[in-house]
Structure 1
Amino acid sequence: MISFVQLESIKQFKVRQKEIPIPSIDEVLVEIKYVGICGSDLHVYHGSHPKVKPPAVLGHECTGIIYDGNEHFLENTPVAINPLIGCGVCKHCQAGEPNICVSRTVIGFQKEGGLSQVIAVPKNNILPLSEEFPLRTGVLYEPLAVVIHAAKQANLKKQQDVIITGAGTIGLLSGIYIQDNFDVTVSFIERDSKRIEFAESLGFHVYKQIDDVPMKTIQRPIFFECTGNLPLFKKILDYKPAAAEIIIVSTFEKELEIPIFALLPNETVIQGSQMYTEKDLKQALEILSTSKRYLYEEIVIKKDYSYHEVNTAYETVTNNNEKRVKAIINMEKGGRII
């Protein structure tokens, strides 16, 4: 028997037990070790996600080991999971863009996720890791891949001003990655005092109001929108000097009517960024396999939450009870597989 944690209703997780799943011929069993809590998970938890509703077994930022070896993978091989499953036959999938497949499913949303001690994963979605890879903080591979993909959507120029809205997981990872890989000036918009203090401790300039951000160059800024906050997005559209590009990384609860006439005179480009590709995931794993990972591990809460403490972990992140922003569930802590 194994334990799994199901979101039964809004803000209500419950630990349950079931038999170990039986994989199909194209699947492999993974024993989950660690699961990260993502901003999109919080949307589901609060009932505000536009597509995913309870009941659900969440967890799409997962690391673990192969539970039962087969001809594809040896038992106990450390792995990460690519949670994105495309249909495999549409033009987007054929072009290597399953992230924009209209029939895509995601492990941890439409398919059972990592808040289960053992899950069946398509063999093509397994990303083998080295024995030295840090499985706990390694769950950052998934949100870091989101950031890498978003940065590729932007036309970042030398010494450009980059303004990131929101100093949560995606926002902070965006700032760390962009500042480390591009010769640009990164500033944050954030109103929460704990998040402001933490972002400043990482060396970033943080401003409560968008109009307070000073421009360091004559180039128009690029915004990375990481909050899903509609009023703030509208303020970005009104910002002067007008944004050269707005990269939308966040999830919005509701549709947004964009005033076209606010874009045309300023030649502002609004660019969506949808998840990532396998190449982005592998790039993130490569970064986290080097000493560079210490830059990103700074955002991880030091406490290990057991799978009996999932509600507590979600409330901790929701209420910003910790200075750091990334909570991780230890799926071994709380009871072993029987």
Structure 2
Amino acid sequence: MKAIFYEGAEHVAFKEAEMPKLPEGWALIKTSHVGICGTDLNIYAGTHPRAAAPLIIGHEFSGTVLEGHPTLKEGAKVTVNPLLSCGTCGPCVSGQSHVCESLKLIGIDCDGGMAEYVAAPVESIIALPEEMNLEAGALAEPVAVAVHAVRQGGYVPGDRVVVFGAGTIGLCVALVLRSLGATDIIVAETNEHRLAMAKELGFVAVNPLTEDVHSVVLEYTNGLGADFVFDCAGHPSVLTQLTELVKVRGNIIIVAAYKKPAPVNLLQGMFKELSIQFVRVYTPRDFEIAIDLLNSQSSFEKMITHVLPPEEAEKGFELLTTGTNAVKVMYSF
């Protein structure tokens, strides 16, 4: 089969690979679409602590069942929850396997979905509605991240929200919030192309480099501040603004993964009695909700700016690392 391999810092290659082996309890999937995630960009940069070359990357993917599944027929449309948990640690035995103490992922700790075929544990394979197109199905994983962030953060319909970052996750969070009744959603982003995407999707879009985000938030919240601020940017400059923008007794949700320690104004957090919630990946229920949203709302698919053949492996990563208008880039197998 053919696959896209991570071969070292800033180097991916489309080449021949061996067919996946099927351990007991795993099934084989014929890949349809696979997206490039922010984590894939970290791998590409050579900075991911676990991903070791040569590796078939990709953990946002859809496809059809080929063999090995006990209940789904050959040709059934599916996506995959890529989390690989140990099943024996404290979080796992208490039903919180998404925060397993030794959590691993398909596409990071073993070969992933950027290939013609991919293997996955049977229990991780999730059937998609027959009417759903497989391009949308490949968005299930990032939408599940957003669903988890919103659900765990405790958002209440009617609350006013600021989302930092208009990449895939930030836009997914904003869209999930809107699907749950949020009407006043401000998206802050410095990339003009992504800012335009946020505007196109109907959100109030603010560029912190040219506008005072605090003033805009006060204007839209009658001087109170936001009920919720979701940090999907993961940049130290954002952390300095979070405690300022949120109202007294408001909520800060950290969705982005910070690579290095960053300062946060804890004294202001104390004076305002703020709540700071950290969230990680998703639960099986989050995946179910994500698929329902994708099946009922076409807005999520507007984030897909590029669908490339896998032969253009390098181009996909270049689009996301050179300041283009790319938001979600996928390969179609």
Query: Above 0.5 in TM-score?
Result: yes
Indicate the SS of the match to 1:35: strand
Q: Quick one: distance in 2 between partners of 1:16 and 1:56? A: 12
Q: Which residue type is aligned with residue 136 of structure 1? A: E
Matched residue, 1:308: 311
Q: Is the 8 A contact 2:34 2:138 kept in 1?
A: yes
Q: Which deviates the most, 26-35 or 124-133? A: 124-133
Assess, with a 3 A threshold, how the Cα gap between structure 1 residues 243 and 185 changes in structure 2: closer, same or farther: farther
The CA deviation at 1:80 is 0.7
Q: Is the 8 A contact 2:227 2:246 kept in 1?
A: no
The CA deviation at 1:257 is 4.6
Matched residue, 2:287: 281
Q: Deviations over 1:283-306 (max 9, x none)?
A: 11122222x1x11111112x4311
Matched, 1:265 2:271: yes
Matched, 1:325 2:331: no
* Paired-residue identity, %: 28
The count of aligned residue pairs is 326
Indicate the SS of the match to 2:79: strand
Assess, with a 3 A threshold, how the Cα gap between structure 1 residues 277 and 116 changes in structure 2: closer, same or farther: same
Q: Is the 8 A contact 2:81 2:124 kept in 1?
A: yes
Q: Is the 8 A contact 2:50 2:108 kept in 1?
A: no
CA RMSD between the two structures: 2.0
Q: Which residue type is aligned with residue 227 of structure 1? A: A
Q: Is the 8 A contact 2:9 2:44 kept in 1?
A: yes
Q: Which deviates the most, 61-70 or 101-110? A: 61-70
Q: Quick one: distance in 1 between partners of 2:49 and 2:309? A: 28
TM-score, normalised via structure 2 length: 0.91
The CA deviation at 1:266 is 1.6
Matched residue, 1:295: 299
Q: Is the 8 A contact 2:214 2:244 kept in 1?
A: no
Matched, 1:195 2:194: yes
Matches within 5 A, 1:1-338: 2-49=1-48, 51-52=50-51, 54-69=53-68, 71-209=70-208, 210-215=213-218, 216-217=221-222, 218=224, 220-239=226-245, 241=247, 244-290=250-296, 292=297, 294-301=298-305, 303-322=306-325, 325-331=327-333
Q: Is the 8 A contact 1:8 1:14 kept in 2?
A: yes
Indicate the SS of the match to 1:256: coil
Q: Quick one: distance in 2 between partners of 1:60 and 1:70? A: 19
Q: Which residue type is aligned with residue 329 of structure 2? A: A
Indicate the SS of the match to 2:194: helix
Matched residue, 1:335: none
Q: Which residue type is aligned with residue 330 of structure 1? A: S
Q: Quick one: distance in 1 between partners of 2:50 and 2:275? A: 26
Q: Quick one: distance in 2 between partners of 1:282 and 1:247? A: 22
Indicate the SS of the match to 1:227: coil
The CA deviation at 1:124 is 0.8
Q: Quick one: distance in 1 between partners of 2:183 and 2:172? A: 15
Q: Quick one: distance in 1 between partners of 2:287 and 2:107? A: 17
Q: Quick one: distance in 1 between partners of 2:87 and 2:253? A: 27
Indicate the SS of the match to 2:6: strand
Q: Is the 8 A contact 2:50 2:109 kept in 1?
A: no
Q: Quick one: distance in 1 between partners of 2:248 and 2:236? A: 18
Assess, with a 3 A threshold, how the Cα gap between structure 1 residues 220 and 240 changes in structure 2: closer, same or farther: closer
Q: Is the 8 A contact 1:36 1:139 kept in 2?
A: yes
Q: Deviations over 1:249-299 (max 9, x none)?
A: 111111235453232222111111100001110111122222x1x111111
TM-score, normalised via structure 1 length: 0.89
Structure 2 alignment gaps of length 5 or more? none
Indicate the SS of the match to 1:156: coil
Assess, with a 3 A threshold, how the Cα gap between structure 1 residues 252 and 128 changes in structure 2: closer, same or farther: same
Assess, with a 3 A threshold, how the Cα gap between structure 1 residues 120 and 220 changes in structure 2: closer, same or farther: closer
Q: Which residue type is aligned with residue 98 of structure 1? A: S
Q: Quick one: distance in 2 between partners of 1:201 and 1:296? A: 12
